[in-house]
Amino acid sequence: MKFLILGIFTSFFSFYILPQKKSNYNLESYLTQDKSLDKKVEEIFESLNLNSLIGQLIMPACGRLGQKIDTIKALLNDQIIGGVLLLNGTKNEFYKWIEEYNKINKEKNNLPLLYSADAEPSLVNRKIIGSTPVSKANAISNLSQVKEVAEIISSDLNNIGINYNFAPVVDVAKNKTVGYRGFGSNPENIIPFSNAFIKQTQSQNIIATAKHFPGHGLVSGDTHKSLQIINGELKELKNYPPLINKGVLSIMVAHIAVKNNKEFNTNGAPATTSSIIVQDLLRDSLGFKGLIVTDAMNMGGVANYPNAIVKAIYAGCDIILMPKDTRKAHYQIKAEYIKNKTFKTKVNKSVRRIIRMKICLGII
C-alpha cells in the first residue's frame, strides 16, 4: 500500500468529485465480475492517503438528530468521513447541505460521499419534511403499491442528492418499535414486497438496504434503548436469502445478541460486533457481497459495549454509522489499522467495497 502525497493526485481526483454520472457502470455492475472495474477500484484505493482511507468507513449524521453542519464540514476538511446520514430536516435543508459538502469535497480533493437517509415508507415523511406523502409500509397491500411508493421516495431522494436509502425494513411486524415500519408479519408478503422495493430503488440509482439483520421483529424491546436478545432460533433469517439472491446491495446489522443457539451464539455481544453473525453467517454462509452497515453506534444497544467500533470492523462491517464521537472512532480505527495486519486486511476489503459502490453509483 502506498500512501502518496495527496497533492500529486489533484488532477487525477478532479474528474470525479461532483456527484454526476461519470462512467458506463451502474449499480447492477457492482455484483458482476469485471476486470476493468476491479482495476479502477484498485487505482483509486492505492491513491488514498491513510486519513481518507480510514474515513471511508465512517458515516456520521447531520440534521436535527445529528451533528451540526459546521461539525460535518470540519470532518470533511480533515478527511475523517466517507458519508453522511441526513437525519431529520427539510428537503431544502438537505439539498443545501449536500451542495455545501460537495463544495468542500471538491476543494479538498476527497472521494465523493455516500449520502444516506432512513427513507422507509413509514418514516420518510417525518424524517424528510416536505417529501412527497406516501403510504406507511404496514398499509401497503400489493406489489403495485410497493413499486409506486419506492418510485416516489427514490425520486425525492434523487432530487435532494441522496444516493443510499436505509430501507426496506424486512423484520416481521411483531415488535412495537419496528413493527409498523415493515410489510407485515407474513413472509409471503415481506419477501416479495421487500424485493420489489429494493428493485425499484436500485433501478433509480439508489442503494437499498435490507434491515435489521438477523431480525428485530420478534424481540420484545427497543435497541435504541438497550441490547435486545434473540433466544434460540433465528426465525427471521429466512427473509434474507431471497433478497440477497435478487441483488440487494446493502444490509444493516442490528444491535441484537443471540443466545441458546449452538451455531450462532454471540456470547452476549451485539450482532454488529460478532464475526459469527456478520462474517460467518452473512458473508460466508449467505454469500452477501454488498455493503454491511451497522445500525447507529450511538444507540443504547451498543453504545456502552467496550471497543465496539473496532470490534464491528473485525466482525466484518464495512460502514460505521453514527459513532458517538466521530474523531475518536477515526483515531481508534487508524491506530488498530497501523498495528494489526488482520485488521488492516479487513479495513482494506471494506474500503474497496465502498469505492466499488461509489464507482457503480456514478459519483466517481
What number is the average pLDDT over the span 256-266?
95
**What percent of the chain shows pLDDT beyond 70?**
92
DSSP string, 207-244: EEEEEEET-STTSSS-TTTS-EEEES--TTGGGSHHHH
Cβ 110 vs Cβ 77: under 8 Å: no
Residue type, 180: Y
| DSSP character string of 236-299 | TGGGSHHHHHTT--EEEEPSEEEES-TTT--TT--GGG-TIIIIIIIIIIT---SEEEESPTTS
Task: Report the alpha-carbon distance of residue 326 to residue 75 in Å, rounded.
Answer: 8
Rounded Cα distance between 23 and 159, Å, is: 20
The pLDDT of residue 23 is 66
- Report yes or no: 177 and 221 within 8 Å, Cβ to Cβ: yes
pLDDT in tens, 179-195: 678 898 788 899 999 99
Asked whether residue 14 carries a pLDDT value surpassing 50, the answer given is no
Predicted local distance difference test score (pLDDT) of residue 6: 36
Please state, as a whole number, how many other Cβ atoms lie within 10 Å of the Cβ of residue 117.
30
Domains (ranges, CATH) in the chain? 53-361 (3.20.20.300)
What was the pLDDT predicted at 172?
86
Q: Which residue has the cell 441483488?
A: 247
**252 falls in which pLDDT band (50, 70, 90)?**
very high
pLDDT band, very low/low/confident/very high, at 16 (cuts 50, 70, 90): very low
164: helix, strand or coil: strand
pLDDT for residue 176 is more than 70: no
CB atoms under 10 Å from CB of 287, counted, come to 10
The string of DSSP letters for 19-35 reads SS--SS--GGGGGS--H
Residue 293 pLDDT level (bands cut at 50, 70, 90) = very high
Of the given ranges (51-60, 181-190, 251-260), which has the lowest mean pLDDT? 181-190
